[in-house]
Structure 1
Amino acid sequence: MKNCPGWILLSRDTASAYSLMPSHRSLTWTTDALTYINSPYPESHIITRCWRACYSLGKLIMVKNIENAYYHALPSSLEMKICVFEDDSVRNLYPLTMTRAAFELRVGMSSLLQKVLNRMLRGLKYDEVYLEVRDYLTPVIRNRYPMYRVNEYKPVDDTLFINSRLLYTGEELEFGEEVVAMREGSIAYAYARSSTLESLKGASMGEVLQHLCRELSCKESEVRLIEWPWDLVKYNSEMLTKEFAWRGRSRVQEGIEVIGERDMVYIDPSVRVYPHVVVDCEEGPVYIDRDVRIYPYTFIQGPSYIGRGTYIMPCARIREGCSIGPVCRVGGEVEESIIHGYSNKYHDGFLGHAYVGEWVNLGAMTTNSDLKNDYTEVQVFINGKPVNTGELKVGAFIGDHAKTSIGTYLITGAVIGIMANVLAPDISPKYVPPFTWYVKGIFSRGFGLRRALRTAETMMSRRGVKLSEEERRMYE
């Protein structure tokens, strides 16, 4: 079976995948299939293309182990198209969504899109996935997701429309009848048949959605939409627990000290755990993905997730509610925070109730405040305007490629724009705009965009990733 082109083998136990498509017969993948699908970088695309091609062909082999395989033939007549769309509210998630689509944001162990495709749509028959994003993101998203159609949707076939900000938490959703599901004034999802859509040829996505609201019955839904950056942090612990249960596996090597039930911990066999590491799962599960290194005297408290290829530095304290994406370097103390991926917090310092984008470098002793001295709600500047969060604990929101110097202090609810630099000794302002330097109370343009892009190229090359031409044009 391993040599049958056009088939994919997925191990439910080890999550090892073997794919031998006609154009890639020499390739054998023996790694975590879910992780490869989750990765936004080019190495993921072959395995994802194989998965989608097999789905379209109606061929899928599911195996409990490599020796004991069985196959399941998917229906050959697929019935609908999926369209994941961005609405105007994605701008409320700046700076996190300035360089990515809203569906790429991480909560728990995976992105919003992965939860939609891997959980929400399980059992549904569909043959195409369309991603509708802001125009300037089109080349970048096409490069990251070549297996999907980006900004090419035509209202012809039966379609399930899904808001890119939808956080799927396991709700039972019915898609049999035409409907528009609303959440606090925004379309969460909608299902429309081709007969409803046939008059809309040439219409924009906004026009299509407005038409559906006029023509179909609307109902208020209990599904969640991510409205603000702090929502991602607020729901993170809950989603860590849910996704651990969804993945349905546990594994701990002998000799690792675990506080609590060992079946609440999964540590991939490829993980290297040094002596004197303690994993505390009394308050929630801990999932440590492949190729992670955890150095001595580290404490990891659940619920938490540590993504593939990440290094947890000596004496680190990874407290509850943390999601650390792939290929990060993390030390010091981290609590109730999401680090999207490919970012560095090597040294001591505190990060709490924060969301850190990609390719961020936090200098030694960088510390953010997540609680005001008078215990009142935190204000956060979104698009340059203050917004009341209704929350007492809110940390920093840091855009891609931002940097802080050693000894930097970030004020409660700080927003640091993409490619911004914050240098000590002053406490940061509430808002540092994109491409801006903040030095000794003064804002400036720093060394300019060309130098910033060279710095980005250097940092990315250290992790074996190249700044794509599409990304370069996006920043320019």
Structure 2
Amino acid sequence: MNFILYDGVEWKKLFPITLTRPVSEIRLGLFTMKERWEKYLGKNVENIITQSFLSKKYSQKESSYFKDILLINSSFLPNEELIQILFSLKENEGIFFENKIIAFKKTNFFFKKEDILSFPLEKYKKIYYVKKVIHIQYPWDIFINNEIVLKKDFMFFTKGKKSFSLEGKNHIICKDKIFLEENIKANNVVLNAQLGPIYIEKGVKIMEGSVIIGPVSIGKNSILNIGSKIYGGTTISTFCKVGGEIFNSVIFSYSNKVHDGFLGNSVLGEWCNLGAGTNVSNLRNDYQKVTVWNYEKKDFFPINLQFFGMIMGDHSRSAINTQFNTATIVGVSDSIFGYGFSPRYIPSFFLGGIQRKKKFLLIKFVIQLKL
């Protein structure tokens, strides 16, 4: 049997994070969605079905015909109940959560995008329903669920494994909830796992005065600058450089937040960089629920969240002392600078800040007057 992950309707809802990747490459907890499915299945994923412009990088084969397969919606996270049902599926049987399809089995399948996005219920011989599963539908679901996923991943992945010891003079609290891989350099740091586990991969360097309060995951070869303050619900991926204060956030690989400044309830894509003194507001002054930019409706809409910092797409960066407002959406390859708070929605390939937006609106108004 071959396992295939596919992008459902969630792919568009997860912009700007999925503008440059399939849903299966989203990271939260200790793993990407694909890595987590492979660990639970005990087998490699045979292929990724995604948008055509992403297939060249992420798909293993170009063929649209598949045989003896289980198709799995990448936006769902596996659990024990789901895996048990999955391996019992027979031809044309599917698994649903509420009215959303998680997986189905086919002996012969010719892929058409519309078939997967709206596969009708009557085509299934039998339907199984799961009562509880984590579903990542919007980019803010990443940081909302990260704390609970970190705890589950830690229990699943460290079972039966032995942690390395940490050399140097360090203050370790709840050692049994801390798992360390080899070649970690740390001295005069605090690791506190009272509120949740801490997982640190190989080659990580933690400089003096840093404090980590779990649940937290630090990816391999990442560097924590002097006096870093890392709070629970945070995932820092591989080859990152971080500093300052980070709370309940997910930072994808090769991204930097090296200097002082606050980042909370946020997601940073790959190859992002926050300049010195960059701060992200995660709470409105009036304590109200936030509104967030919707890429499909091209407008802001309300969501049931009070704490929301920023979602930043890949390859975007901010200049020194940049101020991001609550619930800001930043596209891909932006360069943000200038005085005042930046706009709460910044489209991809944007250069500048609030002053450029005002100038653009003024020019547009003048043109309209002339017409």
Length-normalised TM-score, structure 2: 0.88
* Structure 1 residue 410, shift from structure 2 partner: 0.6
Aligned to 2:63: 152
Residues 1:208 and 1:105: Cα distance change in structure 2 (over 3 Å): closer
* Structure 1 residue 218, shift from structure 2 partner: 3.3
* Structure 1 residue 242, shift from structure 2 partner: 1.4
* Structure 1 residue 230, shift from structure 2 partner: 0.9
Aligned residue identity for 2:35: Q
CA distance in 2 between counterparts of 1:437 and 1:326 reads 28
Aligned to 1:329: 241
Q: 1:92 aligns with which of 5, 13, 18?
A: 13
Residues 1:107 and 1:256: Cα distance change in structure 2 (over 3 Å): farther
CA distance in 2 between counterparts of 1:95 and 1:382 reads 10
The answer (yes or no) to whether the contact 1:363–1:408 under 8 Å persists in 2 is yes
Residue 135 (str. 1) matches residue 47 (str. 2): no
- 1:452-467 equivalences under 5 Å are none
CA distance in 2 between counterparts of 1:385 and 1:185 reads 27
* Structure 1 residue 171, shift from structure 2 partner: 3.5
What secondary structure is seen at the aligned counterpart in 2 of 1:171?
Answer: helix
CA distance in 1 between counterparts of 2:316 and 2:73 reads 28
CA distance in 2 between counterparts of 1:445 and 1:113 reads 44
Q: 1:339 aligns with which of 251, 257, 261?
A: 251
Aligned to 2:190: 278
For 1:237-267, what per-residue CA distance to the aligned partner results, in whole angstroms no more than 9, with x for missing partners? Answer: 1111111112224333244434432111122
Q: 2:114 aligns with which of 203, 206, 220?
A: 206
Residues 1:417 and 1:268: Cα distance change in structure 2 (over 3 Å): same
Aligned to 2:95: 181
- 1:99-118 equivalences under 5 Å are 99-118=20-39
Aligned to 2:368: none
The answer (yes or no) to whether the contact 2:16–2:332 under 8 Å persists in 1 is yes
* Structure 1 residue 319, shift from structure 2 partner: 1.0
Aligned residue identity for 2:122: R
Aligned residue identity for 1:87: G
* Structure 1 residue 235, shift from structure 2 partner: 1.0
Aligned to 2:182: 269
CA distance in 2 between counterparts of 1:174 and 1:272 reads 43
Q: 2:127 aligns with which of 215, 218, 229?
A: 218
Length-normalised TM-score, structure 1: 0.69
* Structure 1 residue 445, shift from structure 2 partner: 12
Aligned length: 349
Residues 1:338 and 1:237: Cα distance change in structure 2 (over 3 Å): same
CA RMSD between the two structures:
2.2
- 1:47-66 equivalences under 5 Å are none
Aligned residue identity for 2:78: Y
For 1:332-354, what per-residue CA distance to the aligned partner results, in whole angstroms no more than 9, with x for missing partners? Answer: 00000000110111100000000
Aligned to 2:152: 242
Residue 257 (str. 1) matches residue 166 (str. 2): no
Aligned residue identity for 1:374: D
What secondary structure is seen at the aligned counterpart in 1 of 2:151?
Answer: helix
Q: Which sits farther off after the overlay, 436-445 or 88-97?
A: 436-445
Aligned to 1:351: 263
CA distance in 2 between counterparts of 1:261 and 1:105 reads 30
Residue 164 (str. 1) matches residue 74 (str. 2): yes
Residue 431 (str. 1) matches residue 345 (str. 2): yes
Q: 1:289 aligns with which of 201, 206, 209?
A: 201
- 1:15-94 equivalences under 5 Å are 80-94=1-15
CA distance in 1 between counterparts of 2:227 and 2:341 reads 26
The answer (yes or no) to whether the contact 2:174–2:192 under 8 Å persists in 1 is no
What secondary structure is seen at the aligned counterpart in 1 of 2:140?
Answer: helix
Aligned residue identity for 1:189: A
CA distance in 1 between counterparts of 2:195 and 2:292 reads 29
The answer (yes or no) to whether the contact 1:180–1:218 under 8 Å persists in 2 is yes
Residues 1:85 and 1:444: Cα distance change in structure 2 (over 3 Å): farther
For 1:375-408, what per-residue CA distance to the aligned partner results, in whole angstroms no more than 9, with x for missing partners? Answer: 2211111313223221111110000110101111
Aligned residue identity for 1:141: Y
Residue 443 (str. 1) matches residue 357 (str. 2): yes
Residues 1:387 and 1:168: Cα distance change in structure 2 (over 3 Å): farther
The answer (yes or no) to whether the contact 1:251–1:263 under 8 Å persists in 2 is no
Unaligned 5+ runs, structure 2: 361-371
Aligned residue identity for 2:356: I
The answer (yes or no) to whether the contact 2:316–2:331 under 8 Å persists in 1 is yes
What secondary structure is seen at the aligned counterpart in 2 of 1:139?
Answer: helix
Aligned to 1:319: 231
For 1:213-233, what per-residue CA distance to the aligned partner results, in whole angstroms no more than 9, with x for missing partners? Answer: 332133443322211111110
What secondary structure is seen at the aligned counterpart in 2 of 1:429?
Answer: coil
Residues 1:408 and 1:220: Cα distance change in structure 2 (over 3 Å): same
* Structure 1 residue 209, shift from structure 2 partner: 6.5
Aligned to 1:50: none
For 1:241-294, what per-residue CA distance to the aligned partner results, in whole angstroms no more than 9, with x for missing partners? Answer: 111112224333244434432111122221111x32111111011111111111
* Structure 1 residue 205, shift from structure 2 partner: 4.0
The answer (yes or no) to whether the contact 2:243–2:260 under 8 Å persists in 1 is yes
CA distance in 1 between counterparts of 2:177 and 2:134 reads 26
What secondary structure is seen at the aligned counterpart in 1 of 2:357?
Answer: strand
* Structure 1 residue 210, shift from structure 2 partner: 4.8
CA distance in 1 between counterparts of 2:80 and 2:225 reads 34
